[in-house]
Amino acid sequence: MVRAPLRSTASNALKIVVVGGFGVGKTTLVRAVSEIRPLSTEEIMTHAGVGIDDAGGVETKTTTTVAFDFGRITLNEEMVLYLFGAPGQERFWFLWDRLFSGTLGVVVLVDTRRVADSWYAIDRLEHHGMSFIVAVNDFGGPRHSVEQVRNALSLSADVPIIQCDARERESSKKVLITLVNHLYALSTAQETVS
Amino acid sequence: MSPRPLDGEDPDRLYTITGGRSRADESRLDLVTLIVSECDPTPGMQSEHVKILRMSRRPTAVVEISSELRLPVSIVKILLCDLLDTGRVTARHPSSASTPSRLPDSAVLKQVLVGLEKL
């Protein structure tokens, strides 16, 4: 594979995470805006063998891997933005701090046919104190209004929701801009207070 | 679609690559810390180190090295710490690393917005 290297002046890389259930379009969204074909890699999770039969004092450990995809956008001479597609499944959250501490913010990608898939992710993001927006991927089914989705997710009024088509570059770009605008508003509000 | 090279990965191989160590000082390297090689590979060097030095002639994020080597992130961090300790690579740390729990600086976010608008 021919790699597309970063500029030699690149010095500050940032992270945005797109989280959602299986098949919701995370990689599609990343691909729509990324300057490289999305890549994938894995991280190891080791669990101590809690609740497993005592094997004669030998500590049992199970090792699993969690896979995730990513792409990137060069923002300027120094800054590059990495976009990660993260599965919303439960075991992934054990790795959140290790992989995604320092993330600017998060896009929760929702399929309106499976809204309940997002409840757990939103709960965990709130637990981790992450700022996020909700993007509703349009699968061509009956359209749900933003307010219907907000109610279904019990989201507070200050979390932005946006409809999108993750296959479209302009639409996916708008999702990212909506997130960063939201973060910017939060950040300037905080700076004014302090 | 994407390959899953590690499913069924031989644990012995990972053990050999890292010399049996299971953990690097994780706080030293972020997923998106940019690695830059400071020298060329030399004969006799471990093959993974050779690959990293070749890849990182231009700044390369830890996560891209992990993907290219088809090794888990934590294994790659161990390899990178070896190279950092011997001065063979340098690291450009993300500005967020200093304030992981706070909201990002509005000046940084402004630059991100400008970059995204140009897409």
Model pLDDT for residues B53-70, shown as the tens digit of each residue: 999 999 999 999 999 999
ipTM score assigned to the predicted complex = 0.89
CATH number at residue B82: 1.10.10
Rounded to whole angstroms, the Cα distance separating A169 from A28 reads 10
Rounded to whole angstroms, the Cα distance separating B42 from B36 reads 16
Q: Does B56 map to a domain? A: yes
With contacts defined as CB-CB under 8 Å, which chain A residues touch B110? 184
Q: Does B6 map to a domain? A: no
pTM for the model stands at 0.90
Q: Nearest residue of B to residue A35 by CA position?
A: B119
With contacts defined as CB-CB under 8 Å, which chain A residues touch B116? 73, 75, 81, 173, 176-177, 180
Rounded to whole angstroms, the Cα distance separating B95 from B108 reads 9
Domains of chain B: total: 1
CB contact under 8 A, A129 and B116: no
CB contact under 8 A, B59 and A186: no
The two tokens of residue A171 are: 């639409």
What's the distance, CA B2 to chain centroid? 20
Torsion A125-A129-A132-A134 (CA) sign? positive
Q: Nearest residue of B to residue A46 by CA position?
A: B22
CB contact under 8 A, B110 and A183: no
CB contact under 8 A, B113 and A40: no
Domains of chain A (ranges plus CATH)? 12-52+60-193 (3.40.50.300)
CB contact under 8 A, B4 and A42: yes
Q: Does B5 map to a domain? A: no
Q: Nearest residue of A to residue B34 by CA position?
A: A11
**Domain housing B25:** 11-117
Residue by residue, pLDDT tens for chain A (194 residues) are 457 899 999 999 999 999 998 889 999 999 999 999 999 999 998 766 554 444 455 556 677 889 999 999 999 999 999 999 998 878 888 888 889 989 999 999 999 888 888 989 999 999 888 999 999 998 776 777 888 999 999 999 999 999 999 999 999 999 999 999 999 999 999 888 76
- Which of B2, B11, B94 has the CB atom closest to A13's CB atom? B94
Determine contact, residues B49/B88, Cβ cutoff 8 Å. yes
Q: What is the largest CA-CA distance in chain B?
A: 48
With contacts defined as CB-CB under 8 Å, which chain A residues touch B64? 3, 39
CB contact under 8 A, B34 and A181: no
